[in-house]
Chain A
């Protein structure tokens, strides 16, 4: 347990060195583990490892990562595994992101004025998202960009359960809604 505490202290006090170690030793292990198991490319897995590192750092900053029950590498594997599962779902053949019936009336051509209004609104949404603090930023990225389930997010971000994630996400969405809509 003491070794794990030291690892966490290193990450807090000497982040660059700790991250170097993780990239040198843990990242190749993660790639080796996942490449055979999930048939993803090395490039995709490195990208997912970066995501896992970012989530870990956000958790450290927010205080949700305050103690370890295993090594940091094991902790990263836990996050990475959920990211991989979400990635696989996102890229599977059957998907409903592109379902025209669920996407509304996008197949109809809006007028130039409407399109311009829409674009301006989107830019505002983007601005609000960019300015959104933690944990909302990470939570929304994991939900909508990465496609993780609430349970996976709870595990990755250290929330008690999926319901806490849903409530937190609802508050985050309300923040945006209040600002713009």
Chain B
């Protein structure tokens, strides 16, 4: 293909650059044969643009199949004005984001509970009661030592023996309950901690922290209503320290 043929082809496909258009004009001015060929093709093009050789065939297609296109839902959607399409698309994006955050962005409740268990420091009062006070049995001392060392599963095994031996000792019961929480035995923790939430007398100071742990145990067990009630009571307590209010609130938020 020579240069003039290339330029003529570009002319009919409307892909001439400004420079090429100038070049074509110049070449046609010089080359009469090329000018005649160009004029001939222009007449063909003119005829084809004004008449429509495919008119009959296209009319048949339109008559037979156009209603089918219009009937399709997707084509109907395309008839919406652009603004409505943008609004619809935005709505879908917002709804999808909300759905994703609600269902995938939220941690499972059990995980929230586990992350918000703060074991309180154990109060071992047997060393402060003065001479003559009998030391506790070895398994009790060992249970507390394991608790302090963060070995909650092993501590829970020992507390499981200690608590029945001293059923009125709500201290043992509280730490046993915390161990059960840490090993995710939430229903057992509920039963163990519940009496501590009603503590009075010499154990009254355990009542408030017990509410926090009891609330966590209830949440871990899936009893959301009771968990919320216990944790709100804990946060709302005025007469005692509530160092774990933030953790309690985290769990309430996840309920």
**A22 CB, nearest partner CB in chain B, Å:** 8
Residues of A contacting B58 in the complex (Cβ-Cβ under 8 angstroms): 47, 50-51, 54
**B17 CB, nearest partner CB in chain A, Å:** 9
**Given A28-B72, A28-B74, A173-B44, residue A104 in contact with residue B39 (CB < 8 A):** yes
**Given A96-B11, A173-B44, residue A166 in contact with residue B78 (CB < 8 A):** no
- Check A29 for interface membership: any CB of B closer than 8 A: yes
**B143 CB, nearest partner CB in chain A, Å:** 69
- Check A19 for interface membership: any CB of B closer than 8 A: yes
In chain A, positions 65-101 with a C-beta closer than 8 Å to chain B are 86, 89-90, 92, 94-97, 99, 101
Q: In chain A, what residue has the closest Cβ to B59?
A: A50
**Given A23-B69, A29-B74, A173-B40, residue A143 in contact with residue B12 (CB < 8 A):** yes
Residues of A contacting B65 in the complex (Cβ-Cβ under 8 angstroms): 19-20, 23, 27
- How many residues of chain A are within 8 Å of chain B by beta carbon? 55
Q: Are B24 and A102 in contact (CB under 8 A)?
A: yes
**A10 CB, nearest partner CB in chain B, Å:** 15
In chain A, positions 97-155 with a C-beta closer than 8 Å to chain B are 97, 99, 101-104, 121-122, 125-126, 129-130, 137, 140-141, 143-145, 147-150, 152
Bound Cα distance A103, B43 (Å): 10
Q: In chain A, what residue has the closest Cβ to B69?
A: A27
- Check B68 for interface membership: any CB of A closer than 8 A: yes
Residues of A contacting B5 in the complex (Cβ-Cβ under 8 angstroms): 166
Q: Closest 9 interchain pairs by CB? A: A144-B45, A23-B65, A28-B74, A145-B48, A89-B14, A149-B13, A28-B75, A144-B48, A23-B68
